[in-house]
Amino acid sequence: MLRAAAASGASAAGVAAAAGSNTPRDEHSESSRAAAGQTGHEAPRTFTQQVSTTSARDAGTVDDVAATALGSGAAASGARPEPNADEAPPTTRRDARERRSAEERARGRSRDRGQKRTRDENAAAHETARARRHSSRLGESFPSLVGWTSLSTLLPGVGLLRTRFRPVGLVVFGLFVLTLLTGLVYLLVKGPVRAVATIVSSPSLLNFLAIGAVLVAVIWILVMIVSHLGLRRGHRYRPWQNKMAGVLVVSLALIIGIPLGVGSVFARVQSSTVSSLFGASTGKAQSAEDLWADKPYINVFLMGRDNGDDREGTRPDTMLVASIDTKTGNAALISVPRNLAFPIFPEGSELDEAWPDGFRPSGDPSQDLINAVWQWGEQNEDAIGNTHGLEPGMWATMQAVQGSLGLNLDYWASVDMAGFEDVVDAIGGVKIDVERPIPMGGGKSMSGVKNEVYGWVDPGPQVLKGKDALWYVRSREGSDNYDRMCRQQRMLKTTLEQVDPQEIASAYPKLANSATRNIATSIPQNEIPAFIELALMMQKGDVTSVQINNDVTPTYDPDFDVLHKWILGEVKGASNGEETPKPTNDGSQSQDSETDEESSDTASEEPTESADESTGEQAEEGASPSQTPGEPNAEGKCYPKGFEPGDEFPGYPGPNGGTGEQG
């Protein structure tokens, strides 16, 4: 036990000697004794202290070794104890423990300082490496900023992959790719035409797309802006580069926002148009092939009506039936003469019971014409029966056309004259070679007074805008009804050939607004996709003009059995793409003279129109038998019977001599 105490004392003395930093043992002892005797008397010593003092005095070698060992340990740990010559060696175990604790704290502080220096050095190295990756040279990274910001506009989310928002970028880019793949699969499964047609015919889907387009535009622009700001971190740019970056961001935002914004507006307009113009859905949307699988052709009644301010009620201005082959798109375009007398109605209908011998309110072939059925129907609604939701005049007119031609009418559409002008203007006009001067105005008023011709559509190749195109199809001044029907069919076929989807799209809001006011149809919403497919087929198919004239049957007293048989042959021939034989009928001269009287009598009933048909009908008498009324010549142009290309037209003042606007 004494040996252990002595060893402990020796160790304590060695530590004190090492901390004394070259202080002699005797001086150290004297200072210790002086410290202990500051109060004027010597502090009592314990047995352990006495032994330690004796051992330290007699064991200098051991003390030196301990000091060397402690110094080496302190150096190894990085601690450098501060020398203090006045510090006394520990005299108790408690003092030794406190001394050791102080030394450990000193070593800990030294270790913390070393770790801090290490962290600072690592941070400096990281900044150096980052500076190498992101050059801080003024404006050096500007091309990269422009490129990645632009790429983020093309592929949303890509720019975020180079910023701290990498996870968000992966999500956005993934959703973008998923949307593209879904759309591509939809197009491949349904086909481009059918897919687009299905979308544009569904108001609910269009409303969803209108809202979705706005949300996508906002999110896309925000992603692009965040990508741009993230790519700018850690770089410095010149003033002009900052301005260019701002212009770039604004331009890219417009590139994203404008198409999606316009698409949203168009989707909303289309939704409203479909809801207002077309009938309610009668089932699910179907393709043309499925919808008309058991119908070789469909018959669509097309009517242009004149609702002018100076007219009392509605009078059919143009009546046609389009009989369309549902497999090829070939069509027979049948013009119904407005002066077809005593029209009949479908067998077994209420109107057939009312008029078993044909429409004969007065018994006068100059008054009981097919274009007078509308007004009679409006005035005698009770005699018509069930109109199936249509206007009485419209229902009665359709019944007359159906019975007289022997064709079942599957659909109908009517266009007001103002609507026709809007359609022509919406497609940018119709390019056509006008065959002769076309008068604007003329005809007779209800009082029989001759109307003035106030303008002309000049002959020659040109683009006819709305007003001129309207007079091209309706003018009858110095002409006849058959020439007028020929021009109407020529305009329809020419317009169909020249329809440009891009021009229609650019003017679509205006066209849709006009359509809801001026166009009516029986086509239900779910059948719109089938009609879009059919219209595209018609553009590639052949359209055959079919004219009902006196060579088929006398219009003043028609033989409807002959007419039905002839119409059926024309429809089948047009469906097969064959040329149909020209109709012939004996006694055409007498029919012409009868028609002259009819035309002059009916002219007074049609104010503001070029309704003087007598001139044209009289011209038929001197025409060669080979010239069929209402049929275009070899160049596809229409002339009144007896008028030859190059002949002077009465009253025409020459090119641009009138006041009409030219296209």
The mean predicted confidence, pLDDT, of the chain is 76
Residue 136 has pLDDT above 70, yes or no: no
Residue 80 phi, psi (nearest 5) = -125, 95
Q: In whole angstroms, give the CA distance from residue 363 to residue 359.
A: 8
CA distances from 541 to 16, 18, 190 (A): 116, 114, 23
**Using 50, 70 and 90 to split pLDDT, how confident is the model at 516?**
confident
Please name the amino acid found at residue 381.
Answer: E
- Least Cα distance to 549 among 561, 569, 567 occurs for 567
- pLDDT (mean) for 368-388: 88
Of the listed ranges 126-130, 249-253, 395-399, 476-480, the least confidently predicted one is: 126-130
Instruction: Determine the Cα angle at 434 with ends 428 and 436, to 5°.
Output: 150
**Using 50, 70 and 90 to split pLDDT, how confident is the model at 342?**
very high
Of the listed ranges 39-53, 425-439, 581-595, the least confidently predicted one is: 581-595
Pairing of strands 411-416, 519-521: antiparallel
Say what the pLDDT of residue 279 is: 83
- pLDDT (mean) for 74-94: 54
User: What's the alpha-carbon Rg for the chain, to the nearest Å?
Assistant: 51
Q: In whole angstroms, give the CA distance from residue 402 to residue 382.
A: 20
Are the C-beta atoms of 151 and 231 separated by less than 8 Å? no
Could you tell me which residue, 402 or 109, shows the higher pLDDT?
Answer: 402
- pLDDT (mean) for 611-634: 48
Say what the pLDDT of residue 616 is: 36
Q: In whole angstroms, give the CA distance from residue 617 to residue 478.
A: 10
Residue 92 has pLDDT above 50, yes or no: yes
Largest CA distance in the chain: 167
- pLDDT (mean) for 176-195: 90
**Using 50, 70 and 90 to split pLDDT, how confident is the model at 219?**
very high
